[in-house]
Amino acid sequence: MACVDVPALPLQLLLKRSPGWASGPAAVVDRDRAQGVLLWVNGAARGCGVLPGMRYAAGLSLAGELRAGEVPEAEIRDGVALLAERLRRFTPDVEPAAAEPGVFWLGAGGLGRLWRSARQWARELRADLEGVGFTSRAAVGFSRFGTYAAARAGLGGGLALFRTPAEEERAARKIALRDLGLPPALRDALERLGVGTVGAFLALPADGVRERFGPGAHRLHRLASGRAWAPLEPAPAPEPLARRLDLDEPEADVYRLLFLVKRLLDPLLEALAARREALAALELRFSLDGPMGNGPGGSAGERVERLRSAAPTLDGRQLLNLVHLRLESAGLGAGVLGLVLTVEPAPATAAQLDLFAALGGASRRDPEAADRALARLRAELGEAAVVRAVLCEGHLPEARFRWEPLERMPRAEPRVAPARGSGRGRPLVRRLWARAVPLPPLGRHDPDGWLLAGEACGPVDEKTGPYIVSGGWWRRPVHREYHFARMRNGELFWIYYDRPRRRWFLHGAVE
C-alpha cells in the first residue's frame, strides 16, 4: 500500500490560479471579506506570523502584502478528480480520502514488471504530479495509517519506503502529532499532557481517549493501533466519454455527416458539463466503405481524425465548425459506415458551465438555424420541397388537409401528455397513407387468418367498426366502412371496405 499527500491542496489550487501570488504571503479564506477566516497559508505568510484561524484583517496587519482568495468546493472536487486521474496512470487502485482532499491511498502491489523498484515508481509518480503543478509527498509501506503518517510528515524528504511492517511501525511511532493535521483543540490538549508523538498517543488507553477526547480521537487511536483496519476501496475510474453510430448505407455527404456528428456530440457535451469538465480534444474514428483508411492510428478501412480546440470548450457550434473544416480539407475518399466520437476532457471554468447552462445545454433549439436549413433545402430541391399540412374543410379523410409552403419554422408549443396511471388516455397519432393500399380479400375459411401486412404482423386479432363515411351522390357515390384492426404483433391499422368497389383498403396506421 502507498499513500500520496498533496499538502494544502486548496492553497495549491489557489496559487495555480494566481501564480503571481506564490512569491509572497498568500492564504485561502472562507470568504473574501476582512472578517473572513484564513484556512491555509503558505510559507511566506507563516514567516510573517500569519497562521490559519486568523481573520483576514488580522493577517493583513501582520503582512501588508498578504493575498487571499476563496477556493470553492467544486474547484477542490475538480482538483481531486484531476489528481486521481493522474495517479491512475501508475496504478488502477486509487482511493481519495473523503475527509482530507489531497490525500490518496494507492494499491502498490503487482507493479514489479512495470517499474524496476517501488522507489522508481514513487519517484515517477511524484514527478508526474510535479509536471502538472502539484507538490506531493509519498510513502510506500504496508498499512493505511503507517503510510499516511509518513506521507503527511514528509519522511525521507517527501519519499519514504519501508521494507518491513516493523520498520514502518517504528517510524510511525516517532512522528509528531502536529504533523498529522489534528484539530487544534485536540492537538493542544494532548501537548499539555506531554503527548506529542504517535507512540505516546498509542500508549494512552483507548477507552480513556474516547471518554476524554471524544470519538474522533478514539477513531484515530484505533487507526494508529491497527484495530480499525480497512481494506483499500478504490474509486471507480470515470467512464470514457465516447459515442458510436453505425449506418445501414455508406454516407459520403459532408453536411449529412456533420448532422450525424452533432447527434453524437451534443450528449457528450452535456455529460462533460455534468462532470464539470470541458472538451479539450475530439477524436473522430470513421469506418469507411473500402480500404482507404490512412489517418494516424487508423487501420485499413478506417480513418481517424483528431481535433484540438484553442482552449477547453463546451461550445458545440465552434467544435462543429472545426469538424466541418477538417472534413472539407481532408476528404474521406469513401462512404462512412460507422462513426465513433471520443472526447478528451479537461476541467471547465465556472464561466463556461454558467454559459452552457444559460444556453440550455447542447439540446437548445435555434429557430434561426432551422430557418437557414429550410432555405438550403429550398435552394437545393426547389421552392415546393418544404411544405406543411394545414387542416381544411372536406368530406373524405384525404380531403381534410392541404399542403402549403413553409417559409419559417413555427414556434413549438408542446402540450403535456397525461402521465401514466393518471387514468387519462395518452394521445395517439393516426398516420395516413398518401394513397390507400388495396388489401387481400377477407378469407372466411383461411386457417392463418386475415394477413394485412404479411406474416411479420400476424393475422388480425380484433377489428373495431364500422365507422361509415358516405356521400358524393351528386357526382360519384362513396361508401366506406372504416375499421381499426389490431394485429397479432400489436400493430393497429386503419382500414376500410369500399362498398361500391367491393374491396378492402389500408388507409393508415395508429401509433
Q: What pLDDT is recorded for position 140?
A: 93
Three-class secondary structure of residue 258 per DSSP: helix
Residue 32 to residue 55: CA distance in whole angstroms: 11
Q: What pLDDT is recorded for position 100?
A: 87
- C-beta atoms surrounding 372 within 10 Å: 12
pLDDT single digits (tens) 313-358? 888 888 898 888 888 887 777 888 889 999 888 777 766 776 666 6
* CA-derived radius of gyration, the chain: 35
Strands 137-140 and 26-29: unpaired
**Positions of the chain with pLDDT under 70:** 290-300, 350-351, 354-366, 412-426, 443-448
Q: What pLDDT is recorded for position 281?
A: 86
> Torsion over CA of 50, 55, 59 and 60, rounded to 10 degrees?
170
Residue 460 to residue 451: CA distance in whole angstroms: 7
Residue 433 to residue 494: CA distance in whole angstroms: 10
Decide: 16 and 79 in contact? Cβ < 8 Å.
no
Decide: 311 and 366 in contact? Cβ < 8 Å.
no
- C-alpha cell of residue 300: 485499413
Q: What pLDDT is recorded for position 85?
A: 86
Question: Vertex 408, ends 404 and 414: CA angle to 5°?
Answer: 90
Q: What pLDDT is recorded for position 180?
A: 85
Residue 141 to residue 121: CA distance in whole angstroms: 13
pTM over 0.85: no
Strand (E) or helix (H) holding 76: helix 73-87
Closest CA to 202 of 230, 232, 167, 170: 170
pLDDT single digits (tens) 173-187? 999 988 887 887 888
Q: What pLDDT is recorded for position 81?
A: 85
Q: What pLDDT is recorded for position 150?
A: 92
Strands 503-510 and 430-438: antiparallel
Cis peptide before 466 (omega within 30 of 0): yes
Q: What pLDDT is recorded for position 128?
A: 93
Closest CA to 145 of 193, 192, 208, 103: 103
- C-beta atoms surrounding 189 within 10 Å: 15
Decide: 157 and 184 in contact? Cβ < 8 Å.
no
Q: What pLDDT is recorded for position 129?
A: 92
Q: What pLDDT is recorded for position 9?
A: 93
